[in-house]
Structure 1
Amino acid sequence: MRGFLSCLFVMLALAACGNGDQNGAPGGEPGMPGGAPPVSVSVPLKSEIIEWDEYTGRFEAVESVDIQARVSGYLESIHYEDGQLVKKGDLLFVIDPRPFEAVVERAEAEVERAEARVQYTTTEARRAEELVGRGNISREQFDLRVQERSQALAELDAMRADLKTARLDLEFTRIKAPVGGRISDNFVSVGNLVAGGNTNATVLTRIVSLNPIYFVFDGSESAYLNYQRLQQAGDRPSSRDAENPVQIRLSDEKDFMHTGYMDFVDNRVDPNTGTIRGRAVVENTDYFLTPGVFGRMRLRGRDPYDGLLLPDSAIMADQSLRLVYVVGPDNVIAPRPVVPGPMYRGLRIIRDGLADGDRVVLDGLMMLRPGMPVAPQDGAVTFNDQQGGTR
């Protein structure tokens, strides 16, 4: 029995030695321990790229007007339903017009009296001119008649101005929509006394226009400088000079369904936040978009160009550097620094560091070391729109 166990121990030891010779020796079969590991390799995908930069912002009305009373009085009636769409010129409120009608009638009477006064003084001045010519009255008396006529004419002009003001005040009792859009609820109920004038006037409601609508956002200083460099290089016109296209999606949307164009960039970078304000115009013919709604906007970063793309899994991070493994002619890998850009249809744009024909390792990077031989396996780089990115 003891001899049998000794023989079995020797056979197991020999078997172990045999496996070590096959699997542990350098230059073994690919895929086996100690041999060149298999890796998926492909050249970068070359495609026409349209870069988009994303920003967060909100929609704002092109016109937002607080409807205020211009004359004081009691609110007599309201002529709209809360939240309805109104057109420019629609009647909204009526302030009790009776006191203003009385003022107009009094002003009209004052104008008639002033006209009569002018007629009388004109006749007197004409008669005085004839009498002074014959020497029947003194020159001083003639001048007095002419002066009285001039005063009457001035009083008539003043009375007519008062009548015009009174008629304006009467017109202001009928408050109409200065712009078209969606109106809010009434802030003051019928029967309340409202204050008019230029200061401390009562706000009755608010109207916001809906079509078109603004999308307002803040961009970083670095993004602004990048756009300035692109303009200098002729790669992209400034949004101050060109209607660069934008696409917007709402918080509950997966795709950028709303389109528009840039129409304004502010004239300064805010020193407190390091951002600059931009604005886009979006068509809103169905009035679906509402001022104050949050959205994500993407702005064309540069004109279309041919570029190289890789999946993020092929890119390593080494502190501030980004590296890829490139397979040489002898199937030995070497690290290559690259400059990555934004995502595009699920792939990472490679701005610099690679050429069209470079063979790049796509996966298993954590198991590799510089100068290691590998067994390349044909891979492919394809778009993956499900992962998002600009498109």
Structure 2
Amino acid sequence: MPAYTPDARRPARVLVPALVVLLSLASAVLLSACSGRADAQGGPPPAMPVSVAPAVQRSVTDLETFSGRIEAAEFVEVRPRVAGTIDKVHFTDGASLARGQLLFTIDPRPFEAEVARASAQLAAARARRELADAELVRAEKLLQNKAIARQEAEQLAAGARTSAADIEAAEAALKVARLNLSHTAVRAPIAGRASRAAVTAGNLVNEQVALTTIAAIGRVHAYFDGSEQTLLRVRAAGGQPPVVRLGLADESGYPHQGRLDFIDNRLNPQTGAIRLRASFDNRDGRFVPGLSARISMGTSAPYTATLVPERAVGTDQDRKVVVVVGADGQPQFRAVRLGTLQDGMRVVLGDAVKPGEHVVVEGLQRIMPGVPVKPQVLKVDARGLPIFPAAGASAPAGN
């Protein structure tokens, strides 16, 4: 193995100082980076962006919502008033009918014969009356001459009165016969839409057979159940009957307006509910009896209230809160008492929120007590609901 010379060991002494210098520089860079991160963590957090909208003030009426059922204002089961054989059906199943329109014809021949018999009986009764009157006149003359006994004259007078009564009976029988003949033409008692014909020509029917049904379509009723509190609020409001609005399953909101026209005379003791009814115009035939409906009814007199968007209301344990952002950007958590919901706007009772104050409607989860926020004021529509920027526009991120 060759021996080391001083020239061979010299490169090792040169590398050691260089390595020390590199390690020192790396340590300095690392310490500088750590110090920079510590400074960043120790500074205040940036203001988080949120969307706000102003609270509004307007006149409102407390509303309650119900589930109801639509029924026809008039509904008739058409039954024959005389027994007989159906001769002809005069309408199409499901047709719209006018009042008095001919629906069925019952074979009229037996009733025509009865009319003829009653007419003959009336004629016979009148003939008997004429004879009785003539005999009474002769008897009165003979009685004046004392040619007959008074008892005989009285018997003739009684016979004349009996003949008069027979005429009245025969006239009544003829009226009944003619009435029965008219009932062979079964007509619509109301205007409306018919169901199908339950019987066809050739069937024997009587008063127990339902021939068809007719539901009036000009107006409909919506029946729904209200609570005891509902009844008391409606009575306390006084004045005109409350406005009732209705929406069907395929509609949004409550586009149809009607009037409360009936409140039952007692509450159901088992449920504590009372039956209510509202009337709606149905000239366009949109409402079909039996449909379910969503119903909204005002249960108070109009009053002035402050409203905020429903989405601005949050929950803090067992209380409802609204976050108000002042001019300094500081969020203020305010506990509120809520009233009714009005087209997406919630009534705030009391003075916890004042009209014009900005409430947070988007970004609630980013707010920390005592940390300022960066509010973006949104425009609102006629109801007071915020109008959010279109997709792609500059705006804070959503909730």
1:283 aligns with 2:281: yes
Alignment of 1:199-278 (within 5 A): 201-231=208-238, 237-239=239-241, 244-254=242-252, 256-278=254-276
CA contact (8 A) 1:124 1:145 kept: yes
Distance in 1 (alpha carbons) for counterparts of 2:34 and 2:59 = 57
Q: Match of 1:203, SS?
A: coil
Q: Match of 1:189, SS?
A: coil
TM-score by length of 1: 0.80
Q: 1:313 to 1:211 in 2, by over 3 A?
A: closer
CA contact (8 A) 2:312 2:322 kept: yes
Alignment of 1:327-338 (within 5 A): 335-338=333-336
Equivalence for 1:234? none
Distance in 2 (alpha carbons) for counterparts of 1:116 and 1:61 = 54
TM-score by length of 2: 0.78
Distance in 2 (alpha carbons) for counterparts of 1:116 and 1:150 = 13
Distance in 2 (alpha carbons) for counterparts of 1:6 and 1:311 = 62
What's the CA shift string for 1:322-360, capped at 9, x where partnerless? 223456798766543312233334332223332236554
CA contact (8 A) 1:228 1:238 kept: no
CA contact (8 A) 2:320 2:336 kept: yes
Looking at CA atoms only, which structure, 1 or 2, has the larger radius of gyration? 2
Structure 2: gaps (5+ residues): 1-18, 389-399
What's the CA shift string for 1:50-92, capped at 9, x where partnerless? 6544333232222111110111111111111111111111111
Distance in 1 (alpha carbons) for counterparts of 2:311 and 2:285 = 43
Equivalence for 2:97? 86
Alignment of 1:1-391 (within 5 A): 12=30, 15-16=33-34, 19-24=37-42, 28-31=43-46, 43-49=54-60, 52-196=63-207, 201-231=208-238, 237-239=239-241, 244-254=242-252, 256-302=254-300, 305-318=303-316, 320-326=318-324, 335-352=333-350, 353-356=352-355, 360-362=359-361, 365=364, 372-380=369-377, 382=380, 383-384=384-385
Q: Match of 1:117, SS?
A: helix
Distance in 2 (alpha carbons) for counterparts of 1:333 and 1:178 = 69
Count how many residue pairs are aligned between Structure 1 and Structure 2.
365
CA RMSD of aligned residues (A): 3.2
One-letter amino acid matched to 1:23: Q
Q: 1:68 to 1:38 in 2, by over 3 A?
A: closer
What's the CA shift string for 1:268-291, capped at 9, x where partnerless? 332333333222332223323322
Q: 1:317 to 1:222 in 2, by over 3 A?
A: farther
Identity in percent: 35
Distance in 1 (alpha carbons) for counterparts of 2:252 and 2:359 = 32
What's the CA shift string for 1:285-335, capped at 9, x where partnerless? 332332222332333455555432223443232455322345679876654
